[in-house]
Structure 1
Amino acid sequence: MKKINKKEVLQIAIKKQQELTENYTQRVSDMKADTFSRNASASQTEDRHSNKLDVLQALEKELDFAQNELNYLSQLDITEENANVSPGAIVVTDTLTFFIGISTDKIEMSGTTVVGISTKAPIYANMKDLQKNDSFTFNEKTYQILDLY
């Protein structure tokens, strides 16, 4: 089985995270403009303004989280081969291939789907520190680690 290029996976994950961060930045900017516009009609109530502030605060939290995840990915060291499941590892199992970094949309690489997972993900707790040929169970499914690097 051909190994997936970790550097390419990381670059794609960073690009996806940058796009997400840019999307949240734009949404926060738009919401600020809408929330604090001086052109509010007399019919607008204090409740509407309060609701907009709540949405703005939620978007700002999501933006902050996305930026922190992007910073984490940018600092992730993938230069070493991983002997055990840890951040930066590619974990090839009998059913799925994982990239240990942050939770991401699926990444397609040379016909293989790579699932990005965070070290905070429940499945990570079940595979943390395992090695090639070990197995782990998550949601009543057992995974065999076929390769790890």
Structure 2
Amino acid sequence: MKNKIDKNWILESCLANQNELIANFQKRESEINDAAFKKNASASQSEDRSAGKYELLKAIGDELAFAQKELAFLSDLDVTTESTVVEPGAVVVTDKLTFFIAISSDKIEKDQSTIVGISTRAPIYASMRGLEKGNSFQFNETTYVIEDLY
């Protein structure tokens, strides 16, 4: 069996990654905002090219809002109790991967273990929701056996 990774550490890592993602979106939004509203002094740039920048600005704003909503979900997540079923806040150790049920996130690594953050809206979560240690589930033609759950 794989080493148990502290759920608080996993949550803190996910929070740090999410905050970094939000900061990157905010920086990019600011850069595009500046570019869209600055007047270009070059005579060869007399036509208005800001329409594409407005669309990009809206798309980044939408992604930023989604990332902030996910940060709020993470911030409200209670990881202080042991999970006995696959649910939000659970760490699900399978024979193939270890999942943290919260939001989709970059893989995090600790003590030679890789943890994959998955959203409760992810199709793989639907395949494992409510299962217990020892149960198995199938996703994308792969069978996973739940070896530990906490």
Which letter does structure 1 place at the counterpart of 2:149? L
Give 4+ residue runs of structure 1 displaced > 2 Å after superposition. 38-46
Note if 1:45 corresponds to 2:47: yes
TM-score (norm 2): 0.95
Number of aligned positions between the proteins: 148
Partner residue, 1:74: 75
The equivalences for 1:1-149 within 5 A come to 1=1, 2-39=3-40, 41-42=42-43, 43-46=45-48, 48-149=49-150
Extract unaligned runs of 5+ from structure 1.
none
Task: Determine what percentage of the aligned residue pairs are the same residue.
Answer: 52
Structure 1's 37 and 120: CA in aligned 2 closer, same or farther, altered over 3 A?
same
Structure 1's 83 and 39: CA in aligned 2 closer, same or farther, altered over 3 A?
same
Which letter does structure 2 place at the counterpart of 1:92? V
Which letter does structure 1 place at the counterpart of 2:126? A
Aligned partners of 2:23 and 2:131: how far apart in 1? Answer: 36
Aligned partners of 2:41 and 2:102: how far apart in 1? Answer: 44
Extract unaligned runs of 5+ from structure 2.
none
